Amino acid sequence: MKNITILGSTGSIGVSALKIVSSNPEKYKIIGLSVGTNKDLLLHQIETFRPAAVAVMEESLATELKTRLPAGNAPEVFFGVEGFVRLATLESVDTVVSAMTGAAGLIPTYEAIKAGKDIALANKETMVMAGPLIMAEAKKRSVSILPIDSEHSAILQSLKGHMKEDLKRVILTASGGPFRDLSLDEMREVTAAQALRHPNWSMGPKITIDSATMMNKGLEVIEAKWLFDLEMDQIDILIHPQSILHSMVEYKDGSIIGQMGVPDMTVPIAYALSYPRHMSNDLTPLDLEKVGTLSFEKPDMNRFRCLDLALKAATKGGSMPAVLNGANEIAVDAFLKGTIGFLEIPDLIEKTMDAHTHSPAETIEAVMEADRWARETARGWLNS
């Protein structure tokens, strides 16, 4: 029996994780649930899973939530960053599903690792911003960090049974998003509604926009670098529109091993929770005969500048990945609100990166300061 806290229980990853828990009550018990603002869905989750504690973003929301909980056996209610940290470090918890969106997930995840909790990681920003700090702390505490990303889950599975010394490179696959075949002129006119219609995956709005700009793949490169202890020249990217082959590992003898499956996040979530076992599910099995052709091509860095910027930030290292991430979160939010156009997302990120004085990021405080600076600077560009 694993005792689980889910950070981000009302998002797409959190909801899918709860379905897996619900289907396997003999294996998993929910101890804590956290959300940003979706109190109605949280109330339903509380009624279903009976957690010991919950956390929300704002104090006012926590106060309102308390008035709506039944008397008697209600969970403790925490709020704010401190509340998320308390939830992630509860003594009875052994596994934390880190599925909060964006940089907000870093501090609770880091504190959970310090408290000795195993991590099922969907929040890639944690590794992007503070990968070396996260991995060092996990090693110090003998904590497992198991990826929920389909690509990193595929790499993890493709590494099983092989010597790290034999690895030549990993190949991350990318769907290319909804605009992979559009020209720059066509991309200039796309709307948020169009960008939110991903051809293969069902995800939250922020990660869906990141997929459309291919920033998501850049963030995944940085995450893979730290998760699997790789050099940047050991990571390649291929556009694979069918999203069937989720990623591959090439060994020095030329052997390439990959993991295939239907494009559904249930699979990597379940694998992270059940590792190293594979769980049964009710998904329609992959039918390669119906899929037919699997195709691959190199990404176009001119059309997908966000990917290029992410790779540059990864090569630069230090504070730059945190700056990249912070500026991207501001840019994506502005695009979703209609403040800027689709191709202005990389413009805003690049301006922010160019204005940044690169520095080491040897503490969590330094990482958070780089994030704060990037957001403030990006907002300044928007306001001007």
Confidence bin at 368 (pLDDT 50/70/90): very high
Q: Give, as one character, the DSSP assignment of residue 77.
A: E
Averaged pLDDT, 43-60: 96
Q: What is the pLDDT of residues 69-78, one digit of tens each?
A: 987 789 999 9
As a whole-number percent, the residues of the chain with pLDDT over 90 amount to 91
The structure tokens listed for 45 are: 């989750």
Return the bridge partners of 147, or none: 121
Residue 370 placed within a domain: no
H/E run at residue 333: helix 320-336
Please tell me the predicted confidence (pLDDT) of residue 384: 86
Phi, then psi, of 84 in degrees rounded to 5 = -65, -40
Evaluated on CA atoms 157, 158, 159, 163, the torsion sign reads positive
CA distance 380 to 384: 6
pLDDT beyond 80 at 198: no
Exposed/middle/buried for residue 32 (C-beta within 10 Å: 0-12, 13-18, 19+): buried
Please tell me the predicted confidence (pLDDT) of residue 72: 78
Residue 286 placed within a domain: no
Half-sphere exposure of 18 (CA within 13 A, CB side): 27
Q: What is the pLDDT of residues 265-323, one digit of tens each?
A: 999 999 999 999 999 999 999 999 999 999 999 999 999 999 999 999 999 999 999 99
H/E run at residue 61: helix 59-68
| Residue 22 belongs to domain with CATH number | 3.40.50.720
Looking at 160-304, list the stretches that DSSP marks H as alpha helix, in order from N- to C-terminal side. Answer: 184-187, 192-195, 205-213, 215-227, 266-274, 288-291
Residue 332 placed within a domain: no
Residue 313 placed within a domain: no
Residue 36 placed within a domain: yes
For residue 30, the tally of other CB atoms under 10 A from its CB is: 24
CA distance 244 to 355: 40
pLDDT beyond 70 at 45: yes
Q: Give, as one character, the DSSP assignment of residue 233.
A: G
Q: What is the pLDDT of residues 121-145, one digit of tens each?
A: 999 999 999 999 999 999 999 999 9
Residue 184 placed within a domain: no
Looking at 53-105, list the stretches that DSSP marks H as alpha helix, in order from N- to C-terminal side. Answer: 59-68, 80-88
pLDDT beyond 70 at 27: yes
Q: What is the pLDDT of residues 370-380, one digit of tens each?
A: 999 999 999 99
What residue has token string 């909790």?
117
Are residues 100 and 249 in contact, defined by beta-carbon separation less than 8 angstroms? Answer: no
Residue 10 placed within a domain: yes
- Nearest to residue 156, comparing CAs of 285, 248, 253? 248
Residue 157 placed within a domain: no
Averaged pLDDT, 219-231: 97
Residue range(s) defining the domain that contains residue 98: 2-147
pLDDT beyond 80 at 202: no
Q: How many domains does the chain have?
A: 1
- Cis ω for the linkage preceding 263 (within 30 of 0): no
- DSSP letters, 344-371, are HHHHHHHHHHHH-------SHHHHHHHH
